[in-house]
């Protein structure tokens, strides 16, 4: 018999502190907070600071008194009443770090403690500023709407973002936990110690914390090879930023709903990517000096964009200047790198072009002998140069782009700042091909006019290792983006992927496979059966040797594991008989063992998904879902349940999600998204949203991440004019109930682009497959 246990937890960001206590609930108003909490003896109370005393009250209640906080913003105040257990350790500087979880999950806290202690020491050393509180608690909350919240000294997490169960957590789960801990710990400096003045610059908190994931994990867990994962952070930003419905990084936000909408891929991902680009431009050493200057100068205060640019300019002033006024970095002046830094006065001028205007630039390169013609324009998906609105959407857009490029004739990295619409460069030597955006550190897309793409494709086919691994990933990404903008034809992009069966860099291989798999699912959802079948034959023909090499195990490096998961999932999605048979066999053994058999964690999701296709298997998985104490396992089971071909089973999942007992409220948006990705569930999920809009608004805030995920997750895969009209009419009918939300424009533009993509590329895909299968 289950026991009802109660937890009370606060989550104030951005504008909810006012719901708990009277306050000037704006980030600029910082104060010291003294907190007292009354509780029963069976519970413990936690807050930002350590407890100093407990007083016994009449009636058996206890009153905990906590130390006064340091000076901080209202949204960072936090307190919890719970019955959790903890595991603790001490950092090099003597700060006590504790991980809290419910008693039945306490044994899943050890990885988080190891990671937290390691990252904490790294941050104190990197920022050269000690953490100012005597303790830091990280708490796994059983039902938590956001991924995590950086309350100073009391960080709250979803269980899947903090807990790690070696028996059920996969390589990608481990990467996720490490990433979220790194993000929230970085906030203890970026956001908590130095806070943005107003929510229009929330990227100063979130962009920096996302950027510091890269720096900290690379330094502390090099075996996770996070560098390659970070590219996807930027690619996710580009996916949103290449829509006309995007917004600038710094954007006016006045109402609570507008403020909530600022917590998106532009603030987090794009913010991190332009910081990474600036670091590459300034050099890691100069960039680090600049952010230390920024943190010291604005400690316990608030800052805005210009304060950051000023600190980074000052760090450049501390360097040695050459006679032409440029600040050079010794760390970058290696034999194979031609490097310079811009004049210190240029940093603000350059970076405001990235923060105050929306979108992403396209750099067009044309080589004529040793002369290079450069041109920049705004990159837009789904708006083609022949469209009447294209020219108007290009007006007044100009970036200062720190370009990098390499040539086949040498390993040197060349640099040039493109500040005008057009420019000309003279190459130092003749070259067969050149590649712009070295290592994909820049936030821009590159198109090679003339024979530029042909030369690069030829090089990939002859010997792909002549190009750096991240450059190969960048080429794969850019070529498909250019197809979506109507600049390249799809057959050119598909030709580029022909080298992939020889690719030995797993992130590059996964990037290419991801695009091909996307096309397969698009065709399958639209029931375009001839193309679906031919694409399936093509994928199995070219990647079967690689699929057959995969073992159903947990062996190898992080990328061995991620590749194994991706390839075996692809094989089973394509109904490849050996994959289906092996997964069904493992599922049967697991079921016979009453769920006790340990299946390798990296294939667990695949095994469950195949098992869920029978009624007996689906029912057993639902039963196991209710019993599991591992959030990682529950996520895998829920995904598997959502792949059923039976609509009544999918409808049952939605009902359980609405009730919020078996399936927690925190997982409802992800559940709807998963069901919508299933061809049998795509309209079921969307119809549920339409019919239950008022109910959803009572459950979730209008501008919240959850509502945005529900809206986009149930509509963004649509690709027909009828579906577009249906979504449009529904949005128009809402009027005051949210029709002004940015997400509505994003969704309508996304569906329109899906329609245009099919109109422009379906016949090309069909013809190309007929020739190549």
| Residues contributing to the annotated binding site for Zn(2+) | 183, 187, 206
> Which residues have a Cβ under 8 Å from the Cβ of 338 and sit 6 or more positions away?
412, 413, 414, 415
CA–CA distance from 202 to each of 14, 279, 506 (Å)? 10, 20, 34
CA atoms of 495 and 650, how far apart (whole Å): 39
Residue 196's SS3 state is strand
Angle at alpha carbon of residue 759, lines to 755 and 760, rounded to 5°: 115
Write down the residue that tokens 């906030």 correspond to. Answer: 187
Binding residues: 183, 187, 206
Q: Identify whether the C-beta of residue 751 lies closer than 8 Å to the C-beta of residue 724.
A: yes
Q: Take residue 69 and report the two structure tokens written for it.
A: 């906080």
Q: What is the DSSP string of 557-615?
A: -HHHHHHHHHHHHHHHHTT-HHHHHHHHHHHHHHHHTTT-S---GGGHHHHHHHHTTSH
- Collapse the DSSP code of 96 into the 3-class scheme (helix H, G, I; strand E, B; otherwise coil) and give the result: strand
Active-site residue, selected from the candidate residues 184, 346, 495, 723: 184
Cβ atoms 117, 58 nearer than 8 A: no
Neighbours of 655 (CB within 10 A): 12
Q: How many CB atoms lie within 10 A of CB 284?
A: 13
* CA 134 vs CA 49, 86, 127, 579: distances in Å: 7, 17, 18, 52
The single-letter DSSP state of residue 267 is: I
Contact 65, 85 (CB under 8 A): no
Sign of CA dihedral 201, 204, 206, 211: positive
Assess contact for 695 and 661: CB atoms under 8 A: no
Neighbour tally for 87: CB within 10 Å: 15
Alpha-carbon distance of 620 to 623, in angstroms, equals 5
DSSP, res 103: G
Residues 497 and 535: beta-carbon distance below 8 Å: no
> Is the omega angle on the peptide bond into residue 14 within 30 degrees of 0, that is, cis?
yes
First to last CA, the chain: 57
d(CA 678, CA 723): 16
Q: Where are the beta strands (DSSP E) in 28-134?
A: 30-31, 36-39, 44-47, 51-56, 62-66, 72-73, 79-82, 85-90, 96-101
* CB of 186 closer than 8 Å to CB of 212: yes
613 near 644, Cβ under 8 Å? Answer: yes
Count of beta carbons in the 10 Å neighbourhood of residue 117: 18
Give phi and psi for 62, each to the nearest 5. Answer: -115, 145
Dihedral sign (CA 645, 647, 650, 656): negative
Say how far apart CA 71 and CA 195 lie, in whole Å: 11
Is-catalytic flag, 124?
no
Return the active site residues. Answer: 184
């Amino acid at each position: 018999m289950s026991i009802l246990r109660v937890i009370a937890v606060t989550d104030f960001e951005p504008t909810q502190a006012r719901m708990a206590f009277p306050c000037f609930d704006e980030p600029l108003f910082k104060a010291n907070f003294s907190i007292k909490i009354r509780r029963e003896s069976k519970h413990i109370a936690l807050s930002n600071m350590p407890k100093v005393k407990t007083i016994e009250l009449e009636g058996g209640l206890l009153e905990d008194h906590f130390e006064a906080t340091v000076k901080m913003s209202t949204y960072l105040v936090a307190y919890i009443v719970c019955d959790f257990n903890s595991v603790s350790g001490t950092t090099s500087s003597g700060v006590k770090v504790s991980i809290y979880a419910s008693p039945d999950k306490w044994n899943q806290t050890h990885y988080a403690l190891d990671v937290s202690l390691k990252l904490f020491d790294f941050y104190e050393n990197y920022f050269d500023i000690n953490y100012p509180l005597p303790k830091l608690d990280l708490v796994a909350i059983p039902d938590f709407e956001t991924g995590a919240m950086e309350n100073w000294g009391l960080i709250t997490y979803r269980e899947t973002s903090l807990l790690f169960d070696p028996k059920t957590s996969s390589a990608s789960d481990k990467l996720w936990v490490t990433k979220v801990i790194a993000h929230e710990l970085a906030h203890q400096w970026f956001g908590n110690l130095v806070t943005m003045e107003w929510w229009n610059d929330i990227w100063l908190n979130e962009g920096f914390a996302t950027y510091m994931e890269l720096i900290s994990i690379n330094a502390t867990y090099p075996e996770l090879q996070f560098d390659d994962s970070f590219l996807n952070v930027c690619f996710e930003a580009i996916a949103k930023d290449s829509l006309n419905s995007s917004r600038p990084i710094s954007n006016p936000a006045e109402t609570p709903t507008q403020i909530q909408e600022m917590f998106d891929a532009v603030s987090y991902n794009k913010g991190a990517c332009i910081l990474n680009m600036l670091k590459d431009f300034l050099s890691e050493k100069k960039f680090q000096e600049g952010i230390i200057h920024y943190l010291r100068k604005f400690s316990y205060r608030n800052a805005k964009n210009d304060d950051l640019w000023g600190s980074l300019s000052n760090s450049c002033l501390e360097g040695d200047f050459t006679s032409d006024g440029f600040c050079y970095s010794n760390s970058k002046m290696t034999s194979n790198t031609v490097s310079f830094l811009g004049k210190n006065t240029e940093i603000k001028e350059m970076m405001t072009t990235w923060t105050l205007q929306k979108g992403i630039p396209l750099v067009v390169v044309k080589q004529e002998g040793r002369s290079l013609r450069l041109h920049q324009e705004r990159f837009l998906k789904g708006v083609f140069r022949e469209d009447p609105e294209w020219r108007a959407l290009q007006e007044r857009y100009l970036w200062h782009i720190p370009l990098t490029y390499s040539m086949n004739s040498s390993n040197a990295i060349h640099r040039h700042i493109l500040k005008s619409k057009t420019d000309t460069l003279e190459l130092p030597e003749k070259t067969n091909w050149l590649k712009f955006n070295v290592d994909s550190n820049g936030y821009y897309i590159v198109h090679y006019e003339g024979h530029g793409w042909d030369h690069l494709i030829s090089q990939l086919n002859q010997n792909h290792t002549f190009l750096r691994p991240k450059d190969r990933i960048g080429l794969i990404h850019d070529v498909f983006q250019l197809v979506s903008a109507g600049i390249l034809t799809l057959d050119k992009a598909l030709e580029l992927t022909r080298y992939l069966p020889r690719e030995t860099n797993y992130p590059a291989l996964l990037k290419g496979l991801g695009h091909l798999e996307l096309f397969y699912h698009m065709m399958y959802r639209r029931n375009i059966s001839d193309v679906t079948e031919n694409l399936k034959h093509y994928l199995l023909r070219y990647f079967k040797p690689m699929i057959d090499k995969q073992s159903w195990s947990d062996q190898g490096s992080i990328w061995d594991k991620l590749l194994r998961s991706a390839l075996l999932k692809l094989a089973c999605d394509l109904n490849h008989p050996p994959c289906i048979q092996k997964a069904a066999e493992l599922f049967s053994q697991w079921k016979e063992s009453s769920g006790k058999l340990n299946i390798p964690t990296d294939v667990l999701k695949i095994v469950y998904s195949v098992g869920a296709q029978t009624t007996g298997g689906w029912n057993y998985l639902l039963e196991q879902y209710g019993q599991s104490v591992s959030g990682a396992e529950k996520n895998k089971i829920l995904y598997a349940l959502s792949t059923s071909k039976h609509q009544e089973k999918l409808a049952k999942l939605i009902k359980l999600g609405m009730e919020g007992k078996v399936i927690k409220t925190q997982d409802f948006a992800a559940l709807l998204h998963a069901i919508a990705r299933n061809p049998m569930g795509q309209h079921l999920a969307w119809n549920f949203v339409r019919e239950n809009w008022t109910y959803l608004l009572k459950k979730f805030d209008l501008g919240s991440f959850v509502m945005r995920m529900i809206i986009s997750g149930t509509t963004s895969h649509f690709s027909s004019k009828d579906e577009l009209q249906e979504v449009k009419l529904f949005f128009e009918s809402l009027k005051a109930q949210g029709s002004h939300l940015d997400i509505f424009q994003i969704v309508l533009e996304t569906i329109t682009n899906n329609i245009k993509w099919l109109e422009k590329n379906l016949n090309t895909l069909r013809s190309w497959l007929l020739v190549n299968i």
